[in-house]
Structure 1
């Protein structure tokens, strides 16, 4: 197939602000996770699917729909007013401030 470019699990883009590796960001209407640290305006790779361990507020359980709070740099309940963007679903309940999240509802 001549028009196939790549599988789409990782995309390349230049983000307006600097990011650290593992940081979730919003790309259009979807969440992406930086695969490394990138400076502002520097092209980098962002995972668009998968399960990631991320800092979280307490009490999140498997199956919860969650979002990301940029100010607190953590996963929050989807109904939380501090949510900056939708992230995905909890696959492993919060323990010690860490939760596993399947971003964009896709594991791969």
Structure 2
């Protein structure tokens, strides 16, 4: 029970500091959560393959999801953003195997 409280507190705190998080009630269950037909235990974490959101089951049917997108800004004209699923990197246009030397980004870098 203490672990569930810690998860709920941490996720609530994350929502306060990040406006890109949201909590949704997925079912009327009293204990865990359901997502796409899969039962989740309180504290269980997953990354949504479609939206790339990071989600945690809070229990009681509540699911907390936070956006996990990386946005690049001030990208050099010599660079481009390459996406692979939920991951994105800034690489040199002339040699896509090399990362851009100076990049400004917001979000979580993977």
- With structure 1 as the length reference, what TM-score do the two structures score? 0.28
Which protein shows a greater Rg?
Answer: 2
Query: TM (normalized to structure 2)?
Result: 0.27
Structure with a larger share of its residues in strand: 1
| Higher helix fraction (1 or 2) | 2
